[in-house]
Structures are given as C-alpha cells and as structure tokens.
Structure 1
Amino acid sequence: MPEIKVTPLGAGQDVGRSCILVSIGGKNIMLDCGMHMGYNDDRRFPDFSYITQNGRLTDFLDCVIISHFHLDHCGALPYMSEMVGYDGPIYMTHPTKAICPILLEDFRKITVDKKGETNFFTSQMIKDCMKKVIPLNLHQTVQVDDELEIKAYYAGHVLGAAMVHIKVGSESVVYTGDYNMTPDRHLGAAWIDKCRPDILISESTYATTIRDSKRCRERDFLKKVHESIERGGKVLIPVFALGRAQELCILLETFWERMNLKAPIYFSTGLTEKANHYYKLFITWTNQKIRKTFVQRNMFEFKHIKVIMPGYCVQGTIGHKILNGQRKLEMEGRATLDVKLQVEYMSFSAHADAKGIMQLIRMAEPRNMLLVHGEAVKMEFLKGKIEQEFSIDCYMPANGETTTVTTNPSVPVDISLNLLKREMALGGPLPDPKKPRTMHGTLIMKENSLKLVSSEQALKELGLNEHQLRFTCHVQLQDPHSDADTLHRIYTHLKSVLKGYTIQHLPDGTVIVESIVIKVSSSAEDSNTKVLLLSWSYQDEDLGSFLSSLLKKGLPSGIC
C-alpha cells in the first residue's frame, strides 16, 4: 500500500526550529527551515544529518517550501543551502521573499557582529540563498516536476504567510505553517479549500487555549495602557517587529485619535520601520478594510507614533523568564539586571487557538491529522479532542521520530454524460461525494486518463463486436397447474410486484422482465414440480437475483 512519511527535524513537540520532512509518492519535501530562539549552540538549527550523513541535500530533496518570514521558520535557510549544501528550488510567497533576507541579515548582525560567533552564514550566503527562491502566488498551482505540484493558501498570521497543499498523484498533504483563523486589524483570516488531504500538518502553539473575543482583549489592553500613562508611567511593549507591531500600532493610533491623547508613542527604527514599508508595498495581502481605505489613507502611516509581550515567548528567552516572574536576569558578560517593572501578559498572538485549529479541520476535512509547533502536554490534550470529535487518527511525533500513514489513493475517473443521464432516467439519486454508489459501465483508458462510458459507447470507440454474457439459474416450484398456466400465474404475480418495470408474456412460452427471460418446464419425476429457468444479462444482475429469491418463495394461492 502507498504511504506518506512525516519526520519533524524541528518543532516536534516543541516551539521553534520548524523543519518538517515529508516523503510522499517518491518525493521528498522540506517544509520550513527555521532556527530555535532558545539556544545559542548547534541545537539552534535542525539536525540535517538525519537526511544525509555526507553529501549535499540536493541529492535527497525535491524542493523546500517556506511558509513565512519568522526566523523560527526560515532562520536556518542560508545555513542549509550554502553551508550544508542545497541547490534545488525554494518556494515562498512574494512578501516572504522580500522580508526574509532583511530578518536573516538582522539576525546575522546580532549573532556574528555583536556576539562574535563563528561557523555562521555570511551576508553573501543570504544573497546566494535568496537567488534560489521561486515566488508563489496565492491559489496558483505550481508544477515542481512532472508529478509534484504545490498550491499556496492565505494563512493570516503575518504578511505573506501561506499554507501549502502538496500533491503527488492522488496523495496529498496540507502544511499550515503558522496561521490565524481570526481576522485582525490589518490581516484577514486563514482559508483553504475542502481539499480532503491524506494528512493535515498543523501548528498547535495554543493547543489548549480558547481566547476571549478580540474586542475584549483590545479593550483590556487599551485600558491598562491608558491607566499607566494617566499615572505618569511608561509602557514598554516588546513585540515582533513584523506583524504584531503593525497590529498594535493601528490599535493605538485609532485609540489616541479617538481619545485625543497627547502622550508620545515611539517605535524603534530599523526593522519595524522597514516592515511598515513592506506592508505598504504588499497592501493586497492585508484585510479588506485596509485595502478599501488605502487610497484615502494609508493605515501604516502613523501620525501619533514616533519601542512598539503580546506574542509567544519560547522557553530560554528573556521574555519567557520575565513572564515566569524571574526578578534577576543574567545578561551577556555575566552582568545581572534587576526586573523592576509590573509585567502584564496579554495575548495578541497571531496563532490559531484550539477553536481555530478545530475550525480548520472542518474546513479541509483531512483523513489524518499531525500536530507540530507546540508543547507535548498541550498537544496530547488537543490530540484526544481531535480524535474524539472527528474520528480520525492524530499524530504528534517528536523531533527525529517518523510517522508513517498508509493511504488509500483514489483514482480519478471521468464519467460520460450519456451514462449519467441514463442513471438519472432510471431514477438514480444525484451524484454525492459523501455517498458512494455503484455505476455500471465500461472503463476505458486513453492518454493516461480513465473514463467510464456505456458499453455501447465503448464498443463504438474501440471498434469491437458485442458478445452477450448471460447468467442462468434454476428454481424449483410446486404448482399443480399446466406449464402454460404456471407461466401465466408467474406473469400475473410479477405484474403485481414489479411496478414500473417492462414485463411481457410472449407467445413462444416465455416471460420477459427487462433483459431477464423466464421459462417453465415440468420435472420428469413429478408433474407438480415445475423447473423455472431464469436467464439475465450482467446489467440486470441485481434484478435477476431478486426474482430468483422471490420465485423460490412460491406463488400466492389466489393468483389465477
């Protein structure tokens, strides 16, 4: 049986270093190639030795797909392509291709120029890596080779984030990357076709969380900010420079205008400023409201805002330590800092919560589910809920652990219009993908495609002569009448039972029902024992079986 194999090299029962290896229909695809923000050693990158101990990755991978520009999904890309060695195609959306090298260079500067680390990718390696990128458009089917095709869908989350549908023959996998099922102030909600993949690989960052409504969270956030500045305090909001910074800038800008507040708002120059530039450039990726008002007013040009922890903090980071109540922080060079501030955690994260993950499953209708990018205990809880509600298998492999899913590939077959019309004329129900039904016809293969046609059409197309194949059976019946009278009684009985069928009593001593022929003869041993010969073609196999069962029960006594 065909099978699909999925192995996380990163993000298996963990958040960070997303890198999923998928083997499907003889093709090997790497989904994301990220780094872990909680490590400063070799553990920050995925373990590529799992793919090959020696030699370039080009020999083993058919393509690499990057879901979005966050470093935990693309941070190891230059290391993988330029230092380990990969020359094949790398796919990502246009906004991701534009923003990704900026984040990679920023990360390189911090790691190499400021911290002095070696064995790291260079600025030139980032440029060489990006030359291998092939940009994707949403809903565009891209043929990677003769058998492998991919299609991108809108994921929300950040500008340019995409879910991807991977297909080889009739087998398919959907990888979500990070996504958000709730529209926010600058991005829309994730959406995908009812594509029914063999496996849906989904992030599960907030596997056990069901958030309050967005309006409640925004109101709570603005209230706390307002109270702090009214007391003469200062508010520091550590946030991703791309995505959450823009979301909160729009929220604060709107609130400042409505309340006529004068307190200054600053965001750091550099990344956030560059990000705003790209948000203006790729305005078509934003939500409907932003696009609609863009001509009159660009929402990313802020009047009141001149540093914009509403996101997920990975274990090991400073943000995670502060949120967990640590009052002393050991910094670079062994310096210790006291934490002298009031900390509030308010989730403005652009990840799907548990409710959103269940919503996506209903949307895509996968045959199997696989969870990545989450914490093991929370994933285990969500896994149970998914299996209970959807009656599908759910997997959550750890890093380096392979999940193998056996598939039952469906073979697509075209059905001729004449055959469908004939089925409808016979009173058959309308075709329904959820209710399989039997169709009688002849299967023809032409130019690698299959077509189901009527036998008459098949003979005509193939230039063949027809040969009739008939089934026969004998039924014994106790009846004291003559053979002719018994046949007439059978004819009368069938007329009363089979409404809507063509039944004929012919002069040659036969009764015909559709293609079924019935003849009567007396047994040589006993003239009261009648032997019925039933003969039918394969088209009327069901009706023939029904008649033989009916006549075995005998004839009602009242029939003349």
Structure 2
Amino acid sequence: MLATSQALEKKRKVEAAHAANPNASNLVEFTPLGAGQEVGRSCMILKYQGKTVMFDCGIHPGFSGVNSLPYLDGNEDVDISKVDVALITHFHLDHCAAVPYLLSKTPFKGRMFMTHPTKAVFHQLIRDFARGAKGSSDEALYTEEDVDASMDRIEVVDFLQTLEVAGGIKITPYRAGHVLGAAMFMVEIAGMRCLYTGDYSRVPDRHLPGADTPDVQPDMVVCEATYGVSRHLPREQREAHFLQRVTDTLRGGGRVLLPVVALGRAQELLLMLEEHWEAHPELQAVPIYQASGMMRKSLKVYETYQEMLNEDIKTLFMHENPFAFHHVTHLKHAGQFDDVGPCVLMATPSGLQSGVSRDIFEAWCEDRRNTVILCDFAVQGTLAREILGGPKDILTKTGGRKKLNCSVAHISFSAHSDYDQTSTFLDEVKPPHVVLVHGEKTEMMRLKGALEKAAAEKEIPRSVYTPAILQTVKVTREPLRVVRVAGQLAEKPPHVGQHLKGIMVSGPAGTGAAGSGAAPQQLLLHPNDLHAYTRLHRGRVTQRQALATDRPFSALRLALEVMFEGVEGSGMLPVSGVKHQRREDPQGASFQGQQLHEQQQQQQDAGV
C-alpha cells in the first residue's frame, strides 16, 4: 500500500509539473561546463526527453590542478551520475585530459565513446600527462593507474557508424579534419538531432582530409568559435611565409623555436620542413630537432591508421613511409643536443607554460637573432598569448625577469574553422539553432552577429546562442509524431519526403471503426474512408432560399463573399458552393426571384 501511495504521489507531481510547463518534455537543454566564452576545458551537456549526453571532458591549459577542470559539480541542474553517454571528439588535452578524473573521481556511470585513433593516442598522451604532474601532489588530478583503468571503460566507434545506446540515443561520428581520428558527433534522441563539431577544419592539409558534411539536417549545431570572424590565408601563402621566416633566421645565425602540440600540427610542420630541407641542400647542415617523446611515439599511430589520412599521404605510403624523416633528429631529452649554432627545435607545449618549450624559450629569448614561431592558437592565460602582446620582458619559472629580445611570429597552421568555413558549413547543414562554444567572448560575439546578419540577408531562419560556463540554452522543439496511414492512402507506400494529403483523426473522435475497440491515437485517412475507420461520416447540407430583389445576383454574391471570406477548405474537404436560378413571377409582376442553392460538405469535429 505504501509503495502504491508513493507511486500515485509521484504521478501527481509529474502531472502537475507538466501542467505548469506543458513543453517541458520538448525542451532541448544545452549547458557548457567548460569552453563557454573561453577556449579550454571543453565539456558540454545536452539534455532531451530524459536523456543526457556529455561532449568532451578536457582541461584548461592556462590553469593547473583542480582549477583546470570543467565545472563537473557546478550546476544543480546537471547531475553527472545521470549522464547516459560521453562522446570524446579528439585527443587534445583541452578535450580529453579530464576523462580519467571523470571516470575515477566522480559518480559518472555512463558509457564513453571515441574513435580508434583517438583511443590509441589518448592512452599514451594522458599517461604522459599524469606522469608529468606526479611531482606536484597538489596538481595531480589522477595517477597513471587511473589512466590505465579508464581504458577498460572507453569504447570505440568507427566514422559513419551509427550506434544506439542508453535505450534511445543514436550517435554517428563524422570526420572533423582537425587531427587524426577527430570526430564530429551527431546525436539523435526521439527525432531531435544535435551535431557537436568539436574542433574541425574543412580545408585538407598535407596529411588529413577536410571535415565531412552530414547528409541529414540537425535541429541544433554546437560549433567552435575559436577564430571568430577571422579568415585564414590560403595554406600555400602560410607555408611560404613560415619557411621564409625559418630560412631568414637560420641565415642570420639564429635559432628557431616551434612550440607545438605533440600531435596534429607537429606532424604537419615536420612534413613541411622535411620537404623544404630535401629541396634545399644548403640547409641540410642545419639540424632540425624534435624534443617530444610523445610526438615520436605517435608516428606509429599515423602509420597504423593510414586509411584515415588523405590521398596524397596514402599514395606516398605505397613507396615509402612519409613519416620516416631523414632530416629530423628525435631527442630523448632536451639536454641531448649541442646548443652551439643555428637550428630548428620543435617542443611541447604550444602555450609555453611549462615543459621543454618553456625551458628552451627562456634560454633563447634574450638573443635578437632567434625567432619563436607560434603555429597554433594561443590560449588566454598562457605565456604564448602574453608574448604576442610584445612585452619588454617575461617572468621566468623561477620568478626572475628576462628581456624579450627575440622575434615572435604568429603564423597559424591551427586546423580550426575560420569564418568562411563556419558560415558555409552552417548554410549547408541548415540548423535552425546554432550554439557557439570554444571561443573567447569578444570573438564569439562578433561571430554571432556576423552569422545572424548573413542568415537574415539570405532569409534563413537561424538563432545563434553564446552561453557562458554553466549558462543553459533552452530550445523548445516540436516532438516527433507518428501517424498511421490506412485505407486508400495506404494502398501505395509513400516514398521519403512525399507529402500526403488526407484527414488526420485523433483524440476521442478516433475510437475505431464501427463495432471495433480502441483506435490509433492519430490516423491519416482519405475522406471516403472516414466511415470505415472511425465513427465519423461525411454529410451534405443543402439549403434553398427564395429572395425577392431587383439587384443583380453579382451584388448579392459579393455581399456573401465578404461575409464568409474567412471560410476555407480543411484538408481534402471543400468549402461551400453557391448556385442561383432566376424565376419570373407567373402574374407578370416586375419582380425577380432568385433561388440560392447552397451546397456544403460539413466536416464534423475530428479533434484534429
């Protein structure tokens, strides 16, 4: 009895909540737990019809320890224990480095998916990250053992493979073109589609194809806004500028530091430098050093997943391994090379906040002959972002000051979408709702304005949102409705996209054919089949009226049309018709009688 009473009370509460907000079940809710009006710690929550999806779970490169994490417990409306599935787009730290923390330190119980290359690189990269944080217990978010344990809970999915998980969530990954294995995820819940782009690029580069364009229209696109309204120069111009800057520095007796992310742009730059050195024998005496063990190990992954690279690289693999570099020396540690003359050195991290790149930068920054080339996006709060502002000196890791005399150049090879790519992509997939994330507030607002203006000029319905962290975007969506088709309309099965014309019967009126039991909730019928499937019947009402008038019938018809101008046909039921006949008085009186004959097919209330 107690259980029954509790169930009834719960039912009453649900009904009361629905009465207060009848659209609650049709509400799409999207909340950034990170990367809302910032770049870093990407982590998003999507909720619809009782299902919850997490996109990405990364750290912020400008912070350390728990301060770098997404706000996993910062919103009372987001319960991590209720997340059904987490989808990780790629292996960069700002998108995946909080995954072991999520799996080992929070009540998350859902499933987790990423592509095969992402999982392969994730294990190596995040283990290396955990090992690097071991020296400071305050900053260590998890252990190497936590990373190993997380691998058992991570499942893999192929590009363009559709899986249904958690009893009604369909997921489909598309190529994102950002790094090897990077995915955009299309999620479908009860007919509602949301596409999360993660980091993506539609422009092919030296080793990766561009992003896919999904062939289905999403209701919502969650899109990166990293570069706002900026437009990238053509790749050929950027490569020429980069190689010229490197060559000029070396000829002037200087050194070139390339702070990079271990995987992604690093491989692109190595391919570029290898080709340039091969074509210029005069440079071959100048060493190119690569100081990341992770970068060296990752090259095996690129060899393993050749089929995911672009056609040019796959063709090269038929003859030799393009990642077996002849002019690049892989260093086991930073102290291995002799720092005695011009060289090119590639090291991590790209933000210069720590590690080998920071050590080399502090050693080289006071020499005017040297150059630092930033090839990736410089995140707010990092030293890389600071030196772009041209300070006279910098704060060292030990707390001292050093003069910034070296040259600093920003030549972006960052595989992020620019304005042209973003606007074209949105025009092609045509979402009515766009949520911008992974961008600094100023750039994000500029992009929002530009996208709204472009949509208005093209008369495209589009709403653009720019939520801050923990700010929820709420969009009401018409739910998917299933209608049964019967009778004449069902004799020939319709094709996809075909419009059907008929009478839709629903509610109390649709109580079945005569003598039958309960009927479907919604039924589409030809008017001639109403009597067979419902208790409704077609009727005809005829009215005759004699009217004495000395005016022409056209004047009377005009008056009737004005009076009934709002009357229209409903579906396949026509509007009323009017006919007239002229009759003379048999006594010959000067009188015109006009008989109005009105035929009307009246549609009974079918609860449509």
Q: After superposition, where does 1:46-65 map in structure 2 within 5 Å?
A: 46-51=70-75, 57-58=80-81, 60-65=82-87
Aligned residue among 248, 263, 267 for 2:290: 267
Q: Which of 94, 107, 113 is residue 129 of structure 2 equivalent to?
A: 107
Q: Distance in 2 between matches of 1:131 and 1:476?
A: 88
1:310 matched to 2:375? The reply is yes
Judged with a 3 Å threshold, the aligned counterparts in structure 2 of structure 1 residues 235 and 432 are, in CA distance, closer, same or farther, namely same
Mapping for residues 476-487 of structure 1, pairs under 5 Å: none
The aligned residue for residue 571 of structure 2 is none
- Deviation of 1:470 after TM superposition, in Å, equals 3.5
Residue identity opposite 1:316 in structure 2: G
Could you give the per-residue CA deviations for residues 229-250 of structure 1, whole angstroms, max 9, x where no partner exists? 2333322211111000111111
* 1:393 maps to 2:458: no
Aligned residue runs from structure 1 range 519-530, under 5 A: 528-530=593-595
Q: How many residues align?
A: 496
Distance 1:519 1:421, change over 3 A: farther
Moved more, 370-379 or 408-417: 408-417
Distance 1:281 1:521, change over 3 A: same
- 1:285-318 C-alpha deviation (Å, 9 max, x unpaired): 2112212332222222222222332001112222
* TM-fit CA distance, 1:383: 0.6
Structure-1 separation of matches of 2:308 and 2:178 = 11
Distance 1:304 1:414, change over 3 A: farther
Query: What's the offset of the Cα at 1:216?
Result: 0.8
Q: What is the CA-CA distance between 1:50 and the residue it aligns to? A: 2.5
- Name 1:370's counterpart in structure 2: 435
Looking at structure 1, the residues matched to 484 and 274 of structure 2 have their Cα atoms a distance apart, in angstroms, of: 56
- How big is each residue's C-alpha offset from its partner over 1:151-194, in whole Å with a ceiling of 9 and x where there is no partner? 11110111111111111112221111111121111111112224
Matches of 2:594 and 2:193, distance apart in 1: 61
Structure 2 CA distance for aligned equivalents of residues 17 and 292 of structure 1:
37
The residue that corresponds to 2:116 in the other structure is 94
Question: Residues 517, 287 of structure 1: CA spacing in aligned structure 2 closer, same or farther, 3 A cutoff?
Answer: same
Q: Tell me if structure 2 keeps the 8 A contact 1:520–1:533.
A: no
Q: Distance in 1 between matches of 2:602 and 2:280?
A: 84
* Cα pair 1:177 1:202 within 8 Å, conserved: yes
Say if 2:44 is the partner of 1:20: yes
1:193/1:363 contact within 8 Å kept? no
Measured after TM superposition, the shift of residue 400 of structure 1 is: 1.4
Is 2:236 aligned against 1:215?
yes
Output the amino acid matched with 1:57: I
Whether contact under 8 Å (1:517, 1:536) holds in the other structure is: no
Pick from 446, 452, 460 the counterpart of residue 381 of structure 1.
446
Instruction: Pick the aligned partner of 1:283 from 289, 296, 306.
Output: 306
Establish whether residue 439 from structure 1 lines up as the match of residue 501 from structure 2.
yes
Question: What SS class does the counterpart of residue 152 from structure 1 fall into?
Answer: strand
| Closer/same/farther in 2, CA of residues 78 and 523 from structure 1, 3 Å limit | farther
Indicate the SS of the match to 2:221. strand
CA contact (8 A) 2:115 2:181 kept: yes
Matched, 1:164 2:185: yes
Give 1:251's match in structure 2, choosing from 272, 294, 301: 272
Contact 1:10/1:399 (<8 A) preserved = yes
> How far apart in 1 are the matches of 2:59 and 2:293?
22
Q: How does 1:281-360 map to 2 (within 5 A)?
A: 281-306=304-329, 307-308=345-346, 309-360=374-425
Q: Distance in 2 between matches of 1:447 and 1:318?
A: 69
Q: Secondary structure at the match of 2:113?
A: strand
Aligned mates of 1:141, 1:167 — CA distance in 2: 10
CA distance in 2, matches of 1:53, 1:200: 22
Contact 2:505–2:523, Cα closer than 8 Å, also in 1: yes
| TM-score when normalising by structure 2 | 0.73
Displaced runs of 4 or more, over 6 A: 414-418, 420-424, 430-433, 443-451, 456-460, 475-480, 515-527
What secondary structure sits across from 1:273 in the alignment?
helix
Specify the alignment match of 1:180 in structure 2: 201
Asked if structure 1 preserves the Cα contact closer than 8 Å seen for 2:84 and 2:109, the reply is no
| Aligned residue type for 1:399 | I
Q: Please give the per-residue CA displacement for 1:3-34, whole angstroms capped at 9, x wherever unaligned.
A: 11111111110010111111112111111111
Distance 1:69 1:447 in 2: 52
- 8 Å CA contact 1:474–1:534 kept in 2: the answer is no
Q: Distance in 1 between matches of 2:492 and 2:440?
A: 56
Q: Give the structure-1-normalised TM-score.
A: 0.79
Please tell me the residue identity of whatever aligns with 1:132. Answer: R
Contact 1:519 1:532 in 2 (8 A): yes
Distance in 2 (alpha carbons) for counterparts of 1:216 and 1:240: 22
Contiguous gaps of at least 5 residues in structure 1: 425-429, 481-485, 487-512, 540-560
2:54 to 30, 42, 52: 30
Match of 2:253 in 1: 232
- Distance in 1, matches of 2:537 and 2:520, equals 27
Q: What whole-Å deviation, never above 9, does each CA across 1:251-289 have from its counterpart, x for those lacking one?
A: 112222233341322212411111211111111221122
Partners in 2 of 1:453 and 1:26 — Cα distance?
33
Change (3 A) 1:381 1:95: same
Q: What amino acid does structure 2 have at the position aligned with 1:371?
A: L
Judged with a 3 Å threshold, the aligned counterparts in structure 2 of structure 1 residues 83 and 15 are, in CA distance, closer, same or farther, namely: same
Residue 203 of structure 2 aligns to a residue whose secondary structure is coil
In 1, the alpha carbon distance for the partners of 2:491 and 2:250 equals 73
Secondary structure in structure 2 of the residue aligned to 1:284: helix
Give the secondary structure class of the aligned counterpart of 2:322.
Answer: coil
529 and 171 in structure 1: CA distance in 2 versus 1, 3 angstrom threshold: same
- After TM superposition, give the deviation of residue 57 of structure 1 in Å: 3.0
1:97, CA displacement in angstroms? 0.8
> 1:44 is matched with which residue: 63, 68, 79?
68
Larger displacement relative to structure 2 (202-211 or 467-476): 467-476
Question: Which residue identity lines up with residue 48 of structure 1 in the other structure?
Answer: L
User: Quick one: percent identity of the two aligned structures?
Assistant: 31
Change (3 A) 1:258 1:61: same
Instruction: Summarize the Cα distance change of 1:152–1:529 in structure 2 as closer, same or farther, 3 Å threshold.
Output: same
